[in-house]
Amino acid sequence: MPRPRTHDPDAVLDAAESLAVRSGPAAVTIRAVAAATGVSNGAIYHTFGSRAELLGRSWLRAARRYLAMQTELVEAHLGADASASDVIAAVIAVAETPVAFAEQYPDSGKLLLTVSRGELLGDELPAEVAAELAGTDDTLVRLMVRLARALWGRGDRAAVDVITTCVVDLPTAILLRRDRLAKPIARQHLRAAVRAVLAIGPPDRPSTPPKGTP
Where are the chain's structural domains? 1-49, 65-200
pLDDT bin (cut points 50, 70, 90) of residue 198 is very high
pTM, whole model, 2 decimals?
A: 0.86
Q: What is the predicted pLDDT for the residue at 93?
A: 97
Mean pLDDT of 76-101: 94
Residues 6 or more apart in contact with residue 97 via CB below 8 angstroms: 66, 69, 70, 73, 167, 171
Greatest alpha-carbon span in the chain: 71
pLDDT of residue 206 exceeding 70: no
Q: What is the predicted pLDDT for the residue at 207?
A: 52
Mean pLDDT of 19-24: 92
Which of 40-49, 96-105, 202-211 comes out lowest in average pLDDT?
Answer: 202-211
Mean pLDDT of 53-78: 94
pLDDT bin (cut points 50, 70, 90) of residue 120 is confident
Contact 151, 91 (CB under 8 A): yes
Report the SS3 class of residue 155.
Answer: coil
For residue 206, the tally of other CB atoms under 10 A from its CB is: 8
Give the fold, CATH level 3, of 65-200.
Answer: Tetracycline Repressor; domain 2 (1.10.357)
Mean pLDDT of 186-202: 97
Q: What is the predicted pLDDT for the residue at 5?
A: 45
Length of the chain: 214
Mean confidence (pLDDT) of the chain: 89
pLDDT of residue 1 exceeding 70: no
pLDDT bin (cut points 50, 70, 90) of residue 114 is confident
pLDDT of residue 92 exceeding 70: yes
As a whole-number percent, the residues of the chain with pLDDT over 70 amount to 92
Q: What is the predicted pLDDT for the residue at 214?
A: 43
Radius of gyration of the chain (CA): 20
Contact 134, 59 (CB under 8 A): no
Q: What is the CATH number of domain 1-49?
A: 1.10.10
Q: What is the predicted pLDDT for the residue at 3?
A: 41
pLDDT of residue 165 exceeding 80: yes
- Secondary structure (DSSP) of 12-32: HHHHHHHHHHHH-GGG--HHH
pLDDT bin (cut points 50, 70, 90) of residue 209 is very low
pLDDT bin (cut points 50, 70, 90) of residue 76 is very high
